[in-house]
Structure 1
Amino acid sequence: MTTPPPDKASDQAGFDRHLWRLALVVVLGAIMTVLDTTIVNVALPTLGTDFDASLSTIQWVATGYTLALSMAIPLTGWSVQRFGARTMWLTSLVLFIGGSLLCGVAWSVPSLIAFRVLQGIGGGMLMPVGQTMLARAAGPGRMGRVMSIVSVPAMLAPALGPLLGGVIVDHLSWRWLFYVNVPFCAAALLAAVLMLPRDTDRDRASRLDVLGMMLLSPGLAALVYGLSEAGNGASLTGARFLTSVIAGGVLVLAFGAHALRKGSGALIDLRLLRTRAFTTATGGFFLYGGAVFGLMILIPLFARIVRGDSALESGWLLAPMGVGAMVTMLIGGRLTDRYGARWIGSGGVAIVLAGALALTTIDASGGRSLLMGAMLVVGLGHGLIAPALMAAAYQGLPPASVPAATAGSNVLIRIGSSFGTAAAAVVLQIAIRSEIPGASGNLNDAAANHGPRTPALLTDAFTETFWWTAAVLLVALVPVLIIPRRKREPDTKTESGAPTPANA
């Protein structure tokens, strides 16, 4: 896609009309795809009842979508290069809308799962394609601000997904969980047709790395599935967990060896790891994402199991995180553009760490104010971290590497979030067995065998897990602190008219 290069004045002063339009299109299209990762979770018991299916079967409605997202992301770089960003944006959006409509009319569990996979394929490519378009159009001087806009959908998902899902399930048919996507995405489709410039820089000679796709996409799916199983309480010595994680790990490692041999023709160019800014930013986001996604499953679990809150009440506990992030996100983008990502990102991690440490002080009789206050602090830090690290990942990269960098960073963040969710669940299970001798580690079983000290013992298990999360956040500070400083942009431009990128 050809976009007007930002001149020096607009690059420093703010967004021009073209960039605002592009940002509007991306946010409209991406917001529902991200919400759909969490909106269905609260409806799984209802779906199980309506379809007379077991929880182990119906959970594939959520897992199938997540796996499809993971498998589609690696295709983003090649597809944008071959067909153009506008074409892939419209295609992905149509797939997502079609999948949503089909999910709404699903007549059985297999049909619903199949349509969720179709929905996930479209949704998996939308966010990276939108991120690529914005990164290309922004220029290095506005990267922090534009990445703060990209972060909005990702931040709203954990905060609003369970709330919106709870309201729909309580007052409407579960089918509206999917129909609600249609008007938002139809508006995004219309906006994209009217506002996005035509693709003029397609590389029709670009060939798909078929072997790389056959290694990486199923490898990621297997890893995410195995980690999800651990997060849902599966045994770490069980066949499903071990088979999935080992098979996924072998496939991903095989892709790594293949990609290093193939170079720029690989599905994801691993030579990007030689760029210090890309490696430190994505490495920091991998660790940070794991810690924060762990927090986001621990808080609702604590509310449901220890406090006895309803699904909707437990969902409200995450809302302050979204509020806090919205407060600091645009500020974080501006500060990143002015001062660079290193200190803004590390400051954000430190603030999130303070929120996690506050959670280690909870007790079984504590009120909701501490939980919500801690999540507000976490959100304030997240609003600084997300735009800083996302912008830093592009620092020092030529424009041609932007699609590959986007796909690579999104893959790492997806694995990090899945790992963090699984690790938090496993640590919590171990802590429960330590605090309550003879307990299976299953939260529902532990809560059902209710004794006078059970809430206090379960709370101790949760606080131990929060300490683990705080330790991961502390480790995440290391790569963030060694992100290189962003060099000032020279006044010269490349032959294509795009600003010359800074060196790493």
Structure 2
Amino acid sequence: MTDTQQGAAPTAPSAQPQSVARLAVALIVGGITSILDTTIVTLGLHTLTQELHTSVSTSQWVSTGYLLALAVAIPFVSWAQARFGGKRLWLFALGLFVVGSALCACAWDIDALIAFRILQGFGGGIMMPLMMTLAMQNVDPSTRTRTMATMSLPAALGPILGPVLAGIVLNWLSWRWLFLINVPLGVLGWILAMLFLVDDRPARGVPRGRLDVVGAVLLAPALAGLLYGLSNTHDTGGFARTDVLLPVIAGALLLAAFVWWALRRSDAALVDLRLLGVRSVCTSSIALLLIGAALFAGNFLLPLYFQTLRGYSALNAAFLLIPQGAGALLARFLAGKLVDRFGPRVIAVAGAVVMAAATVPFALAGVSTSLWYLGVILFIRGLGNGVVFIPIMTVAYVDITRSQMADASAITRISQQLGGAFGTALVAVVLTTAASPAHPAGGFDAAFWWVIAMTAGAALACLVIPGRAEHTTPAAPAPVAQ
């Protein structure tokens, strides 16, 4: 979208460090609610199935409905930010997520819980890309890498804090606290956003872009169809299932129609796909598609390895994965300095190679492999995971203007979600077809090798991302804090 459609205020001098810090704190406190919620609820699905007297397939919609709503909300963020302003949109999304959390805690049956989770998902779907957009729009280009590392802290903290909080709830509290945990943290984040985010709503009289209704009708169901279809590959039949083929084909056709429509509409489209003609956005999107596939696929397989082959409960398996989260968290503090010194391309490739190498032991592991050894390997894998995303996500904003950043956030986020869905679907099918009653570990061996192949592909894609993390002609950021 153009600056006029964005209703952008004139740029101002660089924000003061303390203002940037306040912005980061406000966004992180609010944004971590969505990350924690995903981890906690996933671990609590078995309890929800029992407490609400429903089937496993039905309770899975507590997660599936949330993820579909999250994906559907992403394309609307750019338009909504241009029309209402980043601060008001953030407050709305976080408020919607908190209200949805409170309603989930009050759910009287599984149908009500699924409906309220969808409401939560819309809030979370707006928050994730908007958090990155607000951060990148309001910092100096020279500090974008370190800011991105800071803003990605919730993604690293979720796998560490999630199992702990889930353990507390599942052992000593009611299932309703799986959702009530979000409320005080979300309220605090809402208050901080009110205090520290500048009111950036468009000035009166400034033209505001209209919603691309046709684009919305095409893109929203396209993403929902693709993600829903791919999520069904976990069951017997894999990609040959009717409930996989029909929604995936329909989603692909709608997506193709949206691409045709968006290219005709140019900057008036729901998402400005012309940005894919910019090297930084295009290469980052491809890399995120592949690294998202590898990451989601690995995160799908690892808990199953500990549960299915090693016999641990879902909660204990989550605790065994904490070293990976710890490695990713540590990498957040190192990534900025490493990228500043060696450049984003080198660090992204190195991170992907570390991820691939640290997955090999799981492709060779069996039922008696030392947990201490696997814990060390997971920590190393977490380091690679934490390092690889920062440079890829940062260089997406190279060579574009401030007004284009919202669309770039949507494109990269959609790429990561679709890659993750496809990667997970692929290894789920491999896991099912390659396993046998006599040798169940064979399915995991084959599936982990596919994860390694996807990670290697991501490393190759990272070879073509820009070698610098700064804009050659940076636009001065707008003020971020009051």
Counterpart contact for 1:43–1:166, Cα < 8 Å: no
Q: Give, in angstroms, the shift of residue 429 of structure 1.
A: 1.0
Alignment partner, residue 461 of structure 2: 479
Bigger relative contact order (CA 8 A; separation at least 6): 2
> Which of 429, 441, 451 is the equivalent residue of 1:469?
451
SS at match of 1:312: helix
Q: Secondary structure at the match of 1:426?
A: helix
- Scaled by the length of structure 1, the TM-score of the pair is 0.89
Letter in 1 for 2:317: S
Give the aligned residue type for 1:287: L
Q: Deviations over 1:106-152 (max 9, x none)?
A: 01111111111111111110111111110001122111111112211
Whether contact under 8 Å (1:4, 1:137) holds in the other structure is no
1:450 matched residue in structure 2: none
- Aligned residue for 1:286? 289
Matched-pair identity in %: 38
Measure the CA separation in 2 of the matches of 1:70 and 1:163.
Answer: 27
Aligned residue among 381, 386, 407 for 1:383 = 386
Residue of structure 2 equivalent to 1:443: none
Amino acid at match of 2:124: G
Q: 1:266 to 1:4 in 2, by over 3 A?
A: closer
Q: Give the superposition deviation at 1:388.
A: 0.6
Shift of 1:238: 1.6
1:165 Cα deviation after fit: 2.3
Aligned residue for 1:330? Answer: 333
Task: Write out aligned runs for 1:241-320 (5 A).
Answer: 241-320=244-323
| Alpha carbons 1:327, 1:380 under 8 Å: kept | yes
Output the amino acid matched with 1:462. Answer: F
2:104 aligned residue = 103
Task: In structure 2, list runs of 5 or more residues that go unmatched.
Answer: 1-7
Q: Structure 2 vs 1, CA of residues 235 and 479 (structure 1 numbering), >3 Å: closer, same or farther?
A: closer
Give me the whole-angstrom Cα distance separating, in 1, the residues matched to 2:104 and 2:318: 24
- Report how many residues are paired: 469
Query: Superposition pairs for residues 18-417 of structure 1, below 5 Å?
Result: 18-201=19-202, 204-233=207-236, 235-417=238-420
Q: 1:467 deviation in Å? A: 1.1
Deviation at 1:387, TM superposition (A): 1.1
Q: Which runs of 4+ in 1 moved over 4 A?
A: 1-7, 487-490
TM-aligned CA deviation for residue 45 of structure 1: 2.2
CA distance in structure 2 between the aligned counterparts of 1:219 and 1:133, rounded to whole angstroms: 27
- Quote the Cα distance in structure 2 between the aligned partners of 1:488 and 1:122: 31
In structure 2, how many angstroms separate the alpha carbons of the residues matched to 1:109 and 1:338? 52
Contact 2:141–2:474 (CA under 8 A) maintained in structure 1: no
Q: Quote the Cα distance in structure 2 between the aligned partners of 1:216 and 1:166.
A: 38
Contact 1:75 1:267 (8 Å CA) reproduced:
yes
1:158·1:296 contact (CA, 8 Å) conserved in 2?
no
**Whole-angstrom distance in 1 between the partners of 2:11 and 2:296:** 37
Counterpart selection for 1:431 from 405, 421, 434 = 434
Separation in 1, partners of 2:316, 2:236: 23
The answer as to whether partners of 2:129 and 2:410 remain within 8 angstroms in 1 is yes
Shift of 1:370: 2.7
| Alpha-carbon separation, structure 2, partners of 1:406 and 1:4 | 20
- Kindly indicate whether the alpha-carbon contact (under 8 Å) linking 2:285 and 2:416 is maintained by their aligned counterparts in 1: yes
1:184 deviates by: 0.5
How far the C-alpha of 1:336 sits from its partner, in A, is 2.2
Cα distance in 1 for residues equivalent to 2:140 and 2:233: 41
Separation of aligned partners in 2, 1:190 and 1:4: 26
For 1:53 and 1:75, the matched residues in 2 are separated by: 34
Partners of 1:6 and 1:365 in 2: CA distance: 59
Deviations 1:159-205 (A, max 9, x none): 44344324312221110000000010010001011111111446552
Q: Is residue 71–residue 217 contact of structure 1 (8 Å, CA) maintained in 2?
A: yes
SS in 2 for 1:396: coil
Deviation for aligned residue 1:328? 1.5
TM-score, normalised to structure 2, is: 0.93
| Cα distance change of structure 1 residues 243 and 307 upon mapping to structure 2, 3 Å threshold | same
Deviates further, 476-485 or 153-162? 153-162
Q: Distance in 1 between matches of 2:164 and 2:470?
A: 43
The aligned residue for residue 5 of structure 2 is none
Q: Distance in 2 between matches of 1:303 and 1:425?
A: 16
1:235–1:328 Cα change, 3 Å = closer
C-alpha deviations, 1:69-111, integer Å up to 9, x for none? 0000111111111110001000001100100000000011111
Contact 1:71 1:218 in 2 (8 A): yes
* SS of match in other structure, 1:37: helix
CA contact (8 A) 1:3 1:137 kept: no
CA contact (8 A) 2:293 2:421 kept: yes
Seen in structure 2, the aligned counterparts of structure 1 residues 331 and 296 have a Cα distance that, compared at 3 Å, is: same
User: Aligned AA for 1:96?
Assistant: F
Q: Deviations over 1:400-424 (max 9, x none)?
A: 1001001111111111111111111
Structure 1: runs of 5+ lacking an equivalent: 437-445, 447-453, 500-504
Amino acid at match of 2:453: A
Contact between 1:48 and 1:58, CA under 8 Å: does it hold in 2? yes
Q: Are the equivalent residues in 2 in contact too, given 1:166–1:311 (CA < 8 A)?
A: no
Quickly say closer, same or farther: Cα 1:25–1:477, change in 2 above 3 A: same
Q: Structure 1, residues 231-274: CA drift from partner, whole Å, max 9, x if none?
A: 35553222211111111111111111111111111111111111
Distance apart, 1:489 and its partner CA: 5.7
**Secondary structure of the structure 1 residue equivalent to 2:195:** helix
- Greater shift, 21-30 or 151-160, is seen at 151-160
Name the CA distance, whole Å, in 2 between partners of 1:60 and 1:117: 10
Give the whole-Å Cα distance in 2 for the aligned partners of 1:411 and 1:428: 26
Equivalent residue, structure 2, for 1:440: none
> 2:451 is matched by which residue type in structure 1?
T
**Could you tell me how far 1:358 is from its partner in structure 2?**
2.2
What amino acid sits opposite 2:245 in the alignment? L
User: Aligned partners of 1:243 and 1:427: how far apart in 2?
Assistant: 21
What's the C-alpha RMSD, in Å, of the aligned pairs?
A: 2.0
Please tell me the residue identity of whatever aligns with 2:444: F
One-letter code of the match for 2:128?
A: M
Contact in 1 for aligned 2:233/2:241 (Cα 8 Å): no
* CA contact 2:102–2:180 (8 Å) conserved in 1: yes
AA matched with 1:460: G
